Structure 1
Amino acid sequence: MTTRTEPEPLAPGSILWDIAGDVRLLLSLPAAAVLQVAHPAVGAGVDDHSVFRTDPWGRARRSLDSLQLWVYGGDRAIEEGRRLRRLHRAISGTDSHGRAYHALTPAHYAWVHATAYPVFLRAARYVSRPLTPLDERRLYDELLQLGRVLGIDDRDIPQTPEEFWPYFDTMVENELERTVVVDELLDPRRPVPPPPGAGALLRRVWPLLRAPLVRLHVFVTVGLLPPAARERLGVAWTPRQERRLRRLGAVVRTVVRSLPDRLRYLPVARAARSAAR
């Protein structure tokens, strides 16, 4: 009888160690979230069970904290993967087509993870630097390794970039749709409360800041969606918007390069990188 070995956590020197703790990650995660909830089963699970409407800041912070553990947590990453699977055991229901769903259905769970690859590649192209073909392959291998940490079986997700793209195209064409949650995430008029703990001044000016910040958030989210997904979801994107996104990306690259580590990296990543040195 063979025993299943523990997955190997990610380590310093991996591409994910460089990008998953960089503040620019905050620009790419919303596009991945839209791809995820465009799947009817995932969208229904979020619609039915998530607190993203009532506690958007808290929900985002908890997701980000979890993601940082996956990459920088070492042995704690393994336990975080187990915790997430325990958490998702209770998430089930019926989607908008009347079909039963469960969060741990392998195809659904794998799709959520798979969305990271195309979005990371697009974000690198705009706000960081395009990856070389070799680094694209390394990144994919690392995402497979991370998937094992999260409990995703190799048989449930393509094992090479060459296998990934036909899978992705099929998912976009045959599975994705503009769910209720997609509509909400891409609505520039949606109500967003001030961050918890905001000072009196920020609370006072938040009604003025909210609209332009949400519009910028939606603009970047749409821009970082793969074009085929934008088309499938009926989201317009013009050449003028493309030029604006490229200009914004150039500004982001310039600014982030000049930041000290304490501002460039998120706290968990900064601590892990410092300890690794």
Structure 2
Amino acid sequence: MTAAVALTEGSGAARPERRPFGPGSRMWEDTGLITFSLTAGSAFLLQTMEPSIAAVVDEHSSFRTDALGRAARSIASVMMWIYGGEEALAEADRLRTMHATLNSTDAQGVKHRALSSGPWAWVLHTAVFAFTEGNKYFSSDKLTEAEKESYYQEVVQLMRNFSVPPKEIPATYAEWLPWFEDQIENHLVPTNVAHDYLKVIRNIAPPKQIPSALRPVWRVATQPIGRLQYFCTVGTTPDSIRDRLGLEWTANDERALRVLGWVIGRLVPMLPERVRYFPIAYEARRLERDRARLRAIIDVRPI
């Protein structure tokens, strides 16, 4: 059993400090990049295979009926976690409040709670996997083991911001790796929700606002996007999970993904920052630069 980052709740230890992110952190540099979406799919797929998450998502999520809206809200929320300043903590609290009533009972009569400590933590643990996979395939700046450890400690801080119980958090990245593999092999299960999610991302349903006459045009226009999202999701999913879900992935597919990733990893850094980052991330980064410039002027003012 791995060591925890702190004593468990109720032990008399002080509650770990909640602290928003800012410039200088790896999350600040990388989370807001548009390449985030390329591995967000595999992270959500892993979440839909956690039994409690699957049960709650099956009953309460709008991902089947409003896929684009659901994705936009999720991405905006994640951007707030990192770039929202003090509002990042308010966003974490909002999500906890929202999920407090999202409970479900599965077909076997087992009750599931969205805020159970294991499932609640699992959502953020999949972020570690998604980030390292994204770096492996879609970045020209490969992480060292020390950098992975540093990033993991930032995720630990994010978990504290979300009030994840310390008992759910391995102390180091080195301890997280075997813990994560154990979760993959012994806790995740194939679910109807996982299969439905793969169908949804491959065939992007038109928003309700689009007139019926234009829906065939929508489907033709979004087909390449859906194929790319499905390809990247399946390609960045662990082998054992692909096998469990019956997903085909060939050596040619792997080579194609690596070539695609090589191109993306060199193209994205060349894009203007406004294009390279999601809007909330871009504006937060711009604001911090403006603050730094103001601070510099204030510091050299005549007095």
Task: Tell me if both proteins adopt one fold, taking TM over 0.5 as the criterion.
Answer: yes
Q: Does 1:107 align with 2:118?
A: yes
* 1:243 corresponding residue in structure 2: 255
Q: Deviations over 1:227-259 (max 9, x none)?
A: 233234332211000001011112212321221
Q: Which one has a bigger Cα radius of gyration?
A: 2
Q: Does 1:98 align with 2:109?
A: yes
* 1:9 corresponding residue in structure 2: 20
Matches of 1:39 and 1:233, distance apart in 2:
13
1:51-130 equivalences under 5 Å are 51-128=62-139, 129-130=141-142
Matches of 1:77 and 1:132, distance apart in 2:
28
What root-mean-square deviation, in Å, do the aligned CA atoms of Structure 1 and Structure 2 show?
2.3
Measure how far apart 1:193 and its partner are: 2.5
Segment of structure 1 superposing worse, 132-141 or 5-14 = 5-14
Matches of 2:108 and 2:183, distance apart in 1:
17
Segment of structure 1 superposing worse, 108-117 or 209-218 = 209-218
Given that 1:38 and 1:178 are in contact with CA atoms closer than 8 Å, whether structure 2 keeps it comes out as yes
1:144-155 equivalences under 5 Å are 144-155=156-167
Given that 1:9 and 1:77 are in contact with CA atoms closer than 8 Å, whether structure 2 keeps it comes out as yes
Matches of 1:17 and 1:202, distance apart in 2:
39
Q: Does 1:175 align with 2:187?
A: yes
Matches of 1:225 and 1:139, distance apart in 2:
20
Indicate how the Cα distance of structure 1 residues 188 and 272 shifts in structure 2: closer, same or farther if over 3 A, else same: closer
- Partner-residue secondary structure (3-state), 1:101: strand
Aligned residues: 277
- Equivalent position amino acid for 1:183 in 2: H
* 1:40 corresponding residue in structure 2: 51
* 1:253 corresponding residue in structure 2: 265
Measure how far apart 1:83 and its partner are: 0.6
Segment of structure 1 superposing worse, 141-150 or 208-217 = 208-217
* 1:20 corresponding residue in structure 2: 31
Q: Deviations over 1:140-172 (max 9, x none)?
A: 000010111111122222121122122111111
Identity %: 39
- Equivalent position amino acid for 1:263 in 2: V
- Partner-residue secondary structure (3-state), 2:199: coil
* 1:138 corresponding residue in structure 2: 150
- Equivalent position amino acid for 2:97 in 1: R
Matches of 1:188 and 1:3, distance apart in 2:
44
Indicate how the Cα distance of structure 1 residues 259 and 103 shifts in structure 2: closer, same or farther if over 3 A, else same: same
Given that 1:173 and 1:232 are in contact with CA atoms closer than 8 Å, whether structure 2 keeps it comes out as no
Given that 1:40 and 1:95 are in contact with CA atoms closer than 8 Å, whether structure 2 keeps it comes out as no
- Equivalent position amino acid for 1:22 in 2: L
Measure how far apart 1:12 and its partner are: 0.8
2:223 to 202, 208, 211: 211
Given that 1:47 and 1:181 are in contact with CA atoms closer than 8 Å, whether structure 2 keeps it comes out as yes
- Equivalent position amino acid for 2:281 in 1: A
Indicate how the Cα distance of structure 1 residues 146 and 14 shifts in structure 2: closer, same or farther if over 3 A, else same: same
Given that 1:7 and 1:148 are in contact with CA atoms closer than 8 Å, whether structure 2 keeps it comes out as yes
Indicate how the Cα distance of structure 1 residues 23 and 49 shifts in structure 2: closer, same or farther if over 3 A, else same: same
Given that 2:202 and 2:230 are in contact with CA atoms closer than 8 Å, whether structure 1 keeps it comes out as no
Given that 2:18 and 2:157 are in contact with CA atoms closer than 8 Å, whether structure 1 keeps it comes out as yes
Q: For structure 2, which runs of at least 5 residues remain unmatched after alignment?
A: 1-11, 290-303
- Partner-residue secondary structure (3-state), 2:104: strand
Indicate how the Cα distance of structure 1 residues 245 and 95 shifts in structure 2: closer, same or farther if over 3 A, else same: same
The 4+ residue runs of structure 1 with deviation greater than 6 A are: 196-202
Matches of 2:145 and 2:201, distance apart in 1:
39
Given that 1:223 and 1:237 are in contact with CA atoms closer than 8 Å, whether structure 2 keeps it comes out as yes
- Equivalent position amino acid for 1:236 in 2: E
Q: For structure 1, which runs of at least 5 residues remain unmatched after alignment?
A: none
Q: Does 1:156 align with 2:160?
A: no
